[in-house]
C-alpha cells in the first residue's frame, strides 16, 4: 500500500543577493513574474498535482510571503464595494490555494539543512520539495509524473533535464542507467555542481524532488559539502547507493518548458516567454518585440 502524497516543502530562506537592491527588504520569491509573485506559480503547481499542504522554509525578511498567502480584508472590502470582481478574485485566489505553514530555517546552512527543518511537519511519509527559482510551465507535465513514479517504485524521485555541458557546473548532476520507460532513469550516483570535465552526464537536477522520509536520517548525518553547505544532492547520493534501505533514487527526465527565475538574465527571459503566451498581453507584446528586435544591431 502506498500513501497518497499531500505535503510539499518549499525552501524560501535564500537571501536573494543576485537581485540586490530589489531584495534588500523583500524576499526574492515575491519578485513578480509578469503579474504574479514567482512563489505563487510554484504553489499553484503543487496544488495542481494534488499537494494541498505546503510548508515554506523561510528566514528573516519573509513577512511579505506570509501576507501574500493570507487574507487582506481592507483591500478585499474595497474591491467588493467597487464591484471589481476580477481583481477581487485575483487577490483571494492565493489565500484559498493551499494550507500554507511556515518554519524558519535559522542558520543558512544549505538546501539540505532547509529540507531537514521540515522533519517535524512531514513525519514518516513521502513528500515533495519544490525549489522556488524554477518555474515549470503548467502546460507541461512533471510533478504528477514524479508522484506516480514514487507510488509505483516506492523510491525517491528527482527531476532531471538535459543541459549543455558548459552549464552543468550550475546544477547537481546524475549518473544514470536506463529503465523500460524512456522518461525514467535509475540514478546510480549524484554529484553537486561538478566541472564539465568531472560531470558523469549532462543530466542536471532541476528543482523538483519527491523524497522518502528516510532522507531526514541521511541529512542528519550529512556533512557540509560544496560551498561548505549541507547539500541535498549529497544526501540523495547516499539514498542512491543504499537502495536496500531507501528504495533507491530514480529520475524523471523533463523535456518541457522550464523558466529559471534565480538568475537576472533568465528572470527577464522568463517574464518575456510567459507574457508572449498570455492572451491579455501576448498579442501586443509580440508586435512590439519584433519591432524592438529589428532596432537592435
Ligand atoms: C540547487 C541544488 C542543485 C540543483 C539546483 C536546481 O542549487 O543544490 O543540485 O541542480 O538547485 O535549480 P542552487 O540553484 O540552489 O544553487
Q: Which atom of ligand 1 is nearest to the CA of 233?
A: 9
Question: Contacts for 70-73 with beta carbons within 8 Å, 24 or more apart?
Answer: 70/95, 71/95
Q: Please give the share of the chain, as a percent, with pLDDT higher than 70.
A: 99
Backbone phi, psi, residue 18, to 5°? -65, -20
33: phi > 0 → left, psi -120 to 50 → alpha, else beta; which?
beta
Ligand 1 atom 11: the closest Cα is on which residue? 207
- Dump strand ranges (E) for 14-155: 32-33, 36-37, 53-58, 99-104, 127-130, 134-136
> How big is the chain, counted in residues?
297
Chain mean position to CA 200: 23
Domains and CATH numbers, the chain: 7-262 (3.90.550.10), 264-297 (no CATH)
User: In angstroms, what is the span from residue 157 Cα to ligand 1's centroid?
Assistant: 15
Q: How far apart are CA 107 and CA 202, in angstroms?
A: 32
pLDDT at 95: 84
Q: Please give the share of the chain, as a percent, with pLDDT higher than 90.
A: 80
Beta carbons within 10 angstroms of residue 106's beta carbon: 12
User: In angstroms, what is the span from residue 129 Cα to ligand 1's centroid?
Assistant: 12
- Dump strand ranges (E) for 18-171: 32-33, 36-37, 53-58, 99-104, 127-130, 134-136, 156-162
Mapped onto helix, strand or coil, the DSSP state of residue 252 is strand
At 9, the pLDDT band (50, 70, 90 cuts) reads very high
Q: How far apart are CA 251 and CA 216, in angstroms?
A: 20
* Residue range 264-293: mean pLDDT, rounded: 96
181: Cα within 13 Å, side-chain hemisphere: 15
pLDDT beyond 80 at 270? yes
Q: How far apart are CA 240 and CA 56, in angstroms?
A: 26
Q: Which atom of ligand 1 is nearest to the CA of 171?
A: 10
- Per-residue pLDDT tens over the stretch 169-204: 999 999 999 999 999 999 999 999 999 999 999 999
Ligand 1 site residues (CB inside 6 A) read 111, 131, 133-134, 171-172, 192, 204-207, 231-233, 262
Q: Are 222 and 103 in contact (CB under 8 A)?
A: no
Mutate to test the pocket of ligand 1, among 134, 171, 187, 199 (most ligand atoms within 8 A of CB): 171
At 2, the pLDDT band (50, 70, 90 cuts) reads low
Amino acid at each position: 500500500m502506498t500513501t497518497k502524497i499531500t505535503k510539499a516543502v518549499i525552501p524560501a530562506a535564500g537571501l536573494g543577493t543576485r537581485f540586490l537592491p530589489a531584495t534588500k527588504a523583500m524576499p526574492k520569491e515575491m519578485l513578480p513574474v509578469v503579474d504574479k509573485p514567482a512563489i505563487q506559480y510554484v504553489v499553484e503547481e503543487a496544488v495542481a498535482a494534488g499537494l494541498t499542504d505546503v510548508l515554506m522554509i523561510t528566514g528573516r525578511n519573509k513577512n511579505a510571503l506570509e501576507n501574500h498567502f493570507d487574507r487582506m480584508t481592507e483591500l478585499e472590502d474595497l474591491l467588493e464595494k467597487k464591484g471589481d470582481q476580477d481583481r477581487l478574485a485575483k487577490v483571494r485566489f492565493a489565500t484559498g490555494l493551499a494550507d500554507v505553514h511556515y518554519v524558519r530555517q535559522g542558520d543558512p546552512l544549505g538546501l539540505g539543512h532547509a529540507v531537514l527543518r521540515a522533519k517535524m511537519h512531514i513525519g514518516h511519509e513521502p513528500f515533495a520539495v519544490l525549489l522556488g527559482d524554477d518555474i515549470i510551465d503548467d502546460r507541461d507535465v512533471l510533478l504528477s509524473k514524479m508522484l506516480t513514479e514514487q507510488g509505483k517504485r516506492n523510491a525517491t524521485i528527482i527531476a532531471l533535464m538535459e543541459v549543455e555541458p558548459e552549464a552543468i557546473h550550475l546544477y547537481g548532476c546524475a549518473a544514470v542507467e536506463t529503465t523500460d520507460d524512456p522518461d525514467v532513469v535509475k540514478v546510480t550516483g549524484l554529484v553537486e555542481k561538478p566541472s564539465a570535465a568531472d560531470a558523469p552526464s549532462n543530466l542536471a537536477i532541476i528543482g523538483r524532488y519527491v523524497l522518502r522520509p528516510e532522507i531526514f536520517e541521511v541529512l542528519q548525518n550529512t556533512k557540509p559539502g560544496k560551498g561548505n553547505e549541507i547539500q541535498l544532492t549529497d544526501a540523495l547520493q547516499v539514498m542512491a547507493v543504499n537502495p536496500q534501505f531507501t528504495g533507491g533514487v530514480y529520475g524523471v527526465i523533463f523535456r518541457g518548458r522550464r523558466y529559471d527565475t534565480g538568475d537576472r538574465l533568465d528572470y527577464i527571459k522568463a517574464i518575456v516567454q510567459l507574457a508572449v503566451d498570455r492572451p491579455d498581453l501576448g498579442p501586443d507584446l509580440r508586435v512590439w518585440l519584433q519591432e524592438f528586435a529589428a532596432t537592435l544591431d
